[in-house]
A = this chain, B = another copy of it.
């Protein structure tokens, strides 16, 4: 601290010194991340009680803070970046993403409108256009067409924006003007993400107006059931307006049949949003693009590079086929933001593409990632993850005590021991408490199921093999209890 000259700011020299210390700390962390218990073992309140209850009157040094991170925070960290992290979704980070984000923090520009930092907006548009090409998405999602893409924080926020744009398209912007009337109806499958329920609540649609459509034996939405429900709602004087189809459900990675759903949406003029939060990244590889079959029917689409594309949270890519509807839905233009570029219509003002107004230079992250790995490197790694998952699936199938309970199109395996729910619950608890790996669970057909998701940045074949051995050994021990 330069408190001697009563300025208190970190000097550039101090920034260089401490910056190196933090960079080294992170590099060290990744070199030893495997040695930590993956799942934090602390109890509620354990972390807080080690920290001072009151803020410091005088400044302290970064060295001291780093020591405190090590001593007091690390025990409360669950190591998402461990190669033995197989729970939830991977949220895989990478060196280039961390550095791209660091650059964003350093420049610290606001990209709320084009005029407040043109590079922030134009790079984002470019990177989102790149990704249309890289994933072979419908051309209408490109910025030189009728649509375009934007980086949102999460798929939850993207779904909300899709619900809002759909609401306004159907109501002819009357809900924005006069409020809801309780008659709009939305649809997703029983396996759709919880954020859809959250979105319909937020948007004033109401949970009672969200239909959770039955799924087939693969846990994919049944189009016939969807259409039947739409007809029934219409008959009852309600107004169907929105369908969320999922490419890779959270529970089991089920793939909803986009083409059949899309045809229904077209027939009844419903907005089709496609949520491919984790699975979307797989489309980097041509052989996995079957997951997007029928995507040409979608009015909006999102996938999260922060789930499986080595891009630190937060980075959800949200695309719309008609940007004007989205903009008209979310735009508010106060005097203090008026400017010639906006008035000319020649620029994108991303604040009208999402909930917040302010925004950081978020595209630097995926830009660094794509440039560091190249399409070649990303494809190589995605293929490797899927291959490891397929191997794991075969190992499970080869052990008669276990069963695979859902199709494994990509990198998520849902399996269970045949010993019943309680057994599987105990098995999971024992595995996670060992600290050697971390798995999560879900329920499918009302049965407790273990989820193993394979896509952490530094996960290698040996980690997956060890995990499976540990699962087998732990099951054996439990069987003999």
Chain A: residues with Cβ within 8 Å of the partner, total of 161
Cross-chain contact B178 with A181 (CB below 8 angstroms) = no
Query: How far is the CB of A203 from the nearest CB of chain B, in Å?
Result: 6
Tell me, yes or no, whether A335 is within 8 Å of chain B by CB.
yes
A370 on the B face (CB < 8 A): yes
Whether B451 lies near A133 (C-beta < 8 A) is no
A110-B126 contact in complex given A23-B15, A178-B209, C-beta closer than 8 Å: no
**A290 at interface, CB cutoff 8 A:** no
Interface centre among A160, A208, A313 (most CB of B within 10 A): A313
Q: Which residues of B contact A359 (CB under 8 A)?
A: 313
Q: Which residues of B contact A110 (CB under 8 A)?
A: 80, 88, 91, 313
10 CB contacts below 8 A, A to B, read A10-B96, A25-B106, A47-B118, A48-B126, A78-B109, A78-B116, A105-B312, A153-B356, A177-B208, A178-B209
Interface presence of A479 (CB below 8 A): no
User: Which residues of chain A from 53 to 81 have a CB within 8 Å of any chain B CB?
Assistant: 53-60, 62, 64-65, 69, 72-81
B373 adjacent to A102 (CB under 8 Å):
no
> Contact between A358 and B154 (Cβ–Cβ < 8 Å)?
yes
A40 and B367 alpha carbons, distance in the complex (Å):
21
User: Which 9 A-B residue pairings sit nearest by Cβ, starting from the closest?
Assistant: A204-B204, A76-B119, A180-B180, A10-B95, A179-B206, A19-B23, A26-B106, A8-B377, A93-B108
| A335 partner residues in chain B, CB cutoff 8 A | 251, 441-443
**B332/A47 in contact, CB under 8 A:** no
Q: Is A24 part of the contact surface with B, judged by Cβ < 8 Å?
A: yes
From 447 to 472 in chain A, residues with beta carbon under 8 angstroms from any chain B beta carbon are: 451, 457-458
Contacting residues of chain A (299-317) with chain B, CB-CB under 8 angstroms: 306, 312-314
Residues of the B chain whose Cβ atoms lie less than 8 Å from the Cβ of A105: 93, 97-98, 101-102, 312
Contacts of A123 in B (CB 8 A): 47-48, 51, 73
| CB neighbours of A193 from chain B (8 A) | 334
Partner of A180 from B108, B179, B373 at Cβ < 8 Å: B179
| A45 contact set on B, CB distance < 8 A | 122, 346
A102 cross-chain contacts in B, Cβ below 8 A:
19, 22-23, 26, 98, 101-102, 105
Complex contacts, A228 vs chain B, CB 8 Å: none
Judged by a CB distance under 8 angstroms, whether A194 is at the interface is yes
A30 touches B12 (CB 8 A): yes
Q: Which residues on B sit within 8 Å (CB–CB) of A55?
A: 130-131, 133-134, 370, 374-375
Report B-chain residues with C-beta under 8 Å of the C-beta of A130: 54-55
A256 at the interface (CB under 8 A from B): no
Q: State whether A108 touches B91 (Cβ < 8 A).
A: yes
Which residues of chain A from 80 to 139 have a CB within 8 Å of any chain B CB?
Answer: 80-81, 88, 91, 93-99, 101-103, 105-110, 114-120, 122-123, 125-126, 130-131, 133-134
State the CA gap A165–B382 with chains docked (Å).
41
Provide the main secondary structure of the chain A interface: helix
**B380 and A202 form a contact (CB under 8 A):** no
Task: Evaluate contact between A27 and B23: CB separation under 8 angstroms.
Answer: no
Contact of A18 with B by CB under 8 A: yes
Q: Contacts of A267 on B, CB cut-off 8 Å?
A: none
> Which A residues from 329 to 352 make CB contacts under 8 A with B?
329-330, 332-337, 341, 344, 346-347
Q: Which residues of B contact A116 (CB under 8 A)?
A: 78, 80, 88
What is the distance, in angstroms, from A159's C-beta to the closest C-beta of chain B? 10
Known A19-B27, A116-B88, A154-B357; contact A9-B59, beta-carbon cutoff 8 A: no
Whether, in the assembled complex, A229 has its beta carbon less than 8 Å from a beta carbon of chain B, the answer is no
Q: Contact: B198 with A330, CB < 8 Å?
A: yes
Contact check, B118 vs A202: say whether CB atoms are below 8 A apart.
Answer: no
Q: Which of B10, B13, B179, B334 contacts A205 (CB 8 A)?
A: B179
Cβ-defined partner of A176 (8 Å) among B28, B156, B207, B341:
B207
* Bound Cα distance A180, B360 (Å): 33
Given known A19-B23, A313-B110, A332-B197, contact A31–B12 (CB-CB < 8 A): yes
Contact: A95 with B60, CB < 8 Å? no
CA of A60 to CA of B78, assembled, Å: 32
B377 and A3 within 8 A (CB):
yes
In the complex, the answer to whether A51 meets B126 with C-beta atoms within 8 Å is: yes
A105 to B101, CA, bound (A): 7
State whether the Cβ of A481 lies closer than 8 Å to any Cβ in chain B.
no
Contact present for A19 and B209 (CB under 8 Å): no
CB 8 Å contact bits of A357-373 with B (1 = contact, 0 = none): 11110000001101111
